[in-house]
């Protein structure tokens, strides 16, 4: 340390494994068409806004007191939404499923322990592991991004991970994993397994949720979020379902009063409008399918998606494509394996703007082919 009052980051005694790390950073830019972080493009209706405002207003009147620590009323509402015979004891909730996952790694990971996922997958998973001092292990998916079950089972037997994380539908690929495969993973997991269903509501009709597996596996948690299908990304509410003992483990590591009175009240008011908030999901699914068909028709490669986004490519210089779209007012996400880009499904107008911009620049951008 140099003793200056305004040290640079490199002068501070940062944990060695954090040196050189950048904070999570999907760019938040002010452009007309935002298709980069898989938000629901439909803002709440006047009626929902009024109900949420009333609920938050009442909650604020008790602001001098700490919130109800265990958020039992909210957890009961979330259990009702999920069905499957679940009750408040089966549910955990926090400020986004990002915080829920941090609780899982805090309780079941840690020094000398490991967490494993199947890549490519969600860019935040290694960060939860790093922040909780949990060793990070990865096993590749197949070229089409589906799970290679034999490889998965062999890797689990060999590596004995304490935590397995699997996103289904997966981000950034959109790939859903078959329930029979998930059952095999649950049976093989030596520790706990979290199936991250952040995009479950967007899956093709008939896709079964891992909630069906909960009665059979005490080591399983199924994670959900209100950020995507519920159009509640700004409200920050994620949750998971598991056996009551699993929930008790998470309660040990959560910070006290982690969910504010405002968050609890707003989430409960939003849940009371679940049918209305979810009614756009069907429209978004149809828009996604049409977008995939269109991308395929342009001759691009597309990863089959069960989520509210599509991974497409592959470009010799994907950054150039990303930048040229941005220059035309369309922000998408530069993520996933080399050459791929991810676009969220927006309103029909937003998706049309994306198609127009991409049509404009495609002839000018070299593709990669598989050989």
Nearer of residues 98 and 365 to ligand PLP, judged by Cβ: 98
Nearer of residues 134 and 175 to ligand PLP, judged by Cβ: 175
Nearer of residues 98 and 347 to ligand PLP, judged by Cβ: 98
Nearer of residues 231 and 357 to ligand PLP, judged by Cβ: 231
* Closest distance of CB 299 from ligand PLP, Å: 28
* Closest distance of CB 232 from ligand PLP, Å: 9
Nearer of residues 99 and 294 to ligand PLP, judged by Cβ: 99
Please give the Cα distance from 236 to 267 (Å, whole number): 9
* Three-class DSSP labels, the chain: CCCCCCCCHHHCCCCHHHCCCCCCCCCCCCCCEECCCCCCCCCCCHHHHHHHHHHHHHHHCCCCCCCCCCCHHHHHHHHHHHCCCCCHHHEEEECHHHHHHHHHHHHHCCCCCEEEEEECCCCCHHHHHHHCCCEEEEEECCCCCCCCHHHHHHHHHHHCCCEEEEECCCCCCCCCCCHHHHHHHHHHCCCEEEEECCCHHHCCCCCCCHHHHHHHCCCEEEEEECCCCCCCHHHCCEEEEECHHHHHHHHHHCCCCCCCHHHHHHHHHHHCCHHHHHHHHHHHHHHHHHHHHHHHHCCCEECCCCCCEEEEECECCHHHHHHHHHHCCEECECCCCCCCEEEECCCHHHHHHHHHHHHHHHHHCCECCCC
Nearer of residues 96 and 126 to ligand PLP, judged by Cβ: 96
Question: Which residue intervals of 132-260 are DSSP H helices?
Answer: 149-159, 179-188, 244-253
Nearer of residues 171 and 292 to ligand PLP, judged by Cβ: 171
* Closest distance of CB 202 from ligand PLP, Å: 11
* Closest distance of CB 125 from ligand PLP, Å: 8
* Closest distance of CB 82 from ligand PLP, Å: 15
* Closest distance of CB 238 from ligand PLP, Å: 4
Residues in the chain: 371
Nearer of residues 36 and 219 to ligand PLP, judged by Cβ: 36
Nearer of residues 41 and 238 to ligand PLP, judged by Cβ: 238
* Closest distance of CB 126 from ligand PLP, Å: 13
Q: Which residues bind ligand PLP (CB under 6 A)?
A: 38, 96-98, 122, 167, 171, 196, 198, 225, 227-228, 233, 238
| Nearest position to ligand PLP, beta carbon | 96
Which residues are 330's β-sheet partners?
33
* Closest distance of CB 227 from ligand PLP, Å: 3
* Closest distance of CB 111 from ligand PLP, Å: 25
């Amino acid at each position: 340390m140099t003793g200056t009052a305004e040290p640079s980051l490199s002068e501070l005694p940062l944990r060695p494994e954090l040196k050189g790390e950048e904070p999570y950073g999907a760019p938040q830019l002010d452009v007309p068409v935002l298709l980069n972080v898989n938000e629901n493009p439909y803002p709440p209706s006047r009626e929902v806004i009024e109900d949420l405002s009333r609920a938050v207003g009442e909650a604020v009147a008790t602001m001098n007191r700490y919130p109800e620590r265990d958020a039992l009323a909210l957890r009961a509402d979330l259990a009702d939404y999920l069905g499957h015979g679940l009750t408040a004891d089966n549910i955990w909730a926090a400020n986004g499923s990002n915080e829920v996952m941090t609780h899982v790694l805090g309780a079941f990971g840690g020094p000398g322990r490991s967490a494993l996922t199947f890549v490519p997958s969600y860019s935040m998973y290694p960060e939860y592991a790093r922040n909780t001092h949990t060793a990070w292990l990865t096993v590749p998916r197949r070229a089409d991004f589906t799970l290679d079950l034999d490889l998965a089972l062999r890797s689990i037997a060999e590596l004995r991970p304490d935590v397995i994380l699997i996103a289904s539908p997966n981000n950034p690929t959109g790939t859903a994993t078959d329930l029979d495969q998930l059952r095999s993973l649950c049976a093989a997991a030596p520790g706990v397994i979290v199936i991250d269903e952040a995009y479950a509501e967007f899956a093709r009709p008939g896709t079964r949720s891992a909630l069906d597996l909960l009665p059979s596996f005490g080591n399983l948690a199924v994670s959900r979020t209100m950020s995507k299908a519920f159009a509640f990304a700004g409200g920050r509410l994620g949750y998971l379902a598991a056996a009551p003992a699993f929930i008790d483990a998470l309660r040990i590591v959560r910070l006290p009063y982690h969910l504010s009175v405002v968050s609890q009240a707003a989430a409960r008011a939003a849940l009371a409008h679940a049918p209305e908030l979810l009614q756009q999901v069907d429209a978004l699914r149809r828009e996604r399918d049409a977008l995939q068909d269109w991308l395929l028709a342009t001759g691009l490669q597309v990863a089959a998606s069960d989520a509210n986004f599509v991974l497409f490519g592959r470009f010799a210089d994907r950054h150039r494509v990303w930048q040229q779209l941005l220059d035309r007012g369309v922000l998408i996400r530069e993520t996933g394996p080399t050459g791929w880009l991810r676009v969220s499904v927006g309103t029909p107008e937003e998706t049309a703007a994306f198609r127009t911009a991409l049509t404009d620049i495609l002839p000018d951008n070299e593709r990669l082919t598989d050989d």
